[in-house]
Amino acid sequence: MLQLPKVVGHRGAMAYAPENTLESFREAHRRGATWVEIDVKLTKDGVPIVMHDSSLRRTTGVDRLASEMTAAELPPSVPTFAQAIACFAELGLGCNVEIKPCEGREAETARVTVAALRAQWPATLPAPLLSSFKDASLAAAREAAPEFARALLIDEVKDDWQVRAEAVSAVGINTNGKRLTAVRAVEIRKAGYVLSVYTINDGDVARALVGMGVQCVISDAPDVILAALA
């Protein structure tokens, strides 16, 4: 059974620290988050790293694609997935690992991510949740390591959501909280899925979503949402 906390820090706690960095994970922890969400993709030499965009430009100023850089060429602020896991082990943080593949590397990214989890995820931490907007990544994750729970990421829930979720044996739906309707929330919960929303930074909005049946809120400011839901 997938057990998620009420609040997950988005890319660490990106309202307060540079997203997807060790500093951001420490900040999330300091502010009371017990889990963080991160984005994982591969470098040119197949090393899983924690990075949201295809390019490093926005977050590091380095105007290059992650898929065209080796791990050795990365700026120090960009953690490898292994470094992130070591940080979570130290802090006792759970993790929603979003598989965020570069174009064409959907299955490979999932396989490398779950291999790293199998090798490095500490037994002392809660089991991680894998999520992705890419059905192909979730399918590859299931094939390679069915033991890791999966959630389908959907920006706007449409009629095909359950067919897609069933096709990858997802146990959760992670969706855009600003687009979620009450009708869809009920549908998802009635079907037995764990329902999470991103990216909610307003306490009143979080409370309303929880009232609709949302079980987990992914937020840039986890402390704000924790306080609002207390």
- Which residues are the active-site residues? 10, 52
From residue 107, alpha-carbon distances to 14, 113, 159, 209, 213 in Å are: 28, 10, 25, 33, 32
Angle in degrees, CA 132, 138, 141, rounded to 5: 125
Pick one of Mg ion, ligand G3P, none as the site partner of residue 132 (Cβ within 5 to 8 A by kind): none
Smallest distance from the beta carbon of 74 to Mg ion, in angstroms?
19
Smallest distance from the beta carbon of 133 to ligand G3P, in angstroms?
7
**Residue 19 sits in the site that holds Mg ion (CB under 5 A):** no
Pick one of Mg ion, ligand G3P, none as the site partner of residue 174 (Cβ within 5 to 8 A by kind): ligand G3P
* Residue 181: Cβ-neighbour burial (10 angstroms; 0-12, 13-18, 19+): exposed
Report helix, strand or coil for 38.
strand
Binding mask 107-146 for ligand G3P (x = CB under 6 A): ------------------------x---------------
**Residue 37 sits in the site that holds ligand G3P (CB under 6 A):** yes
Pick one of Mg ion, ligand G3P, none as the site partner of residue 20 (Cβ within 5 to 8 A by kind): none
**Residue 24 sits in the site that holds ligand G3P (CB under 6 A):** no
Smallest distance from the beta carbon of 151 to ligand G3P, in angstroms?
8
In degrees and rounded to multiples of 5, residue 202 shows phi and psi of -110, 125
From the list 19, 27, 98, 187, which residue makes contact with Mg ion (rule: CB under 5 A)? 98
**Residue 35 sits in the site that holds ligand G3P (CB under 6 A):** no
Burial 184-221 (b: 16+ CB within 10 A, else e): bbebbbeeebbbbbbbbbebebbbebbebbbbbbbbbb
Q: Which amino acid is at 100?
A: K
Crossing angle for the helix pair 106-120 and 135-144, nearest 10 degrees? 40
CB nearer to ligand G3P: pick between 8 and 139: 8
CB nearer to ligand G3P: pick between 73 and 215: 215
Smallest distance from the beta carbon of 72 to ligand G3P, in angstroms?
26
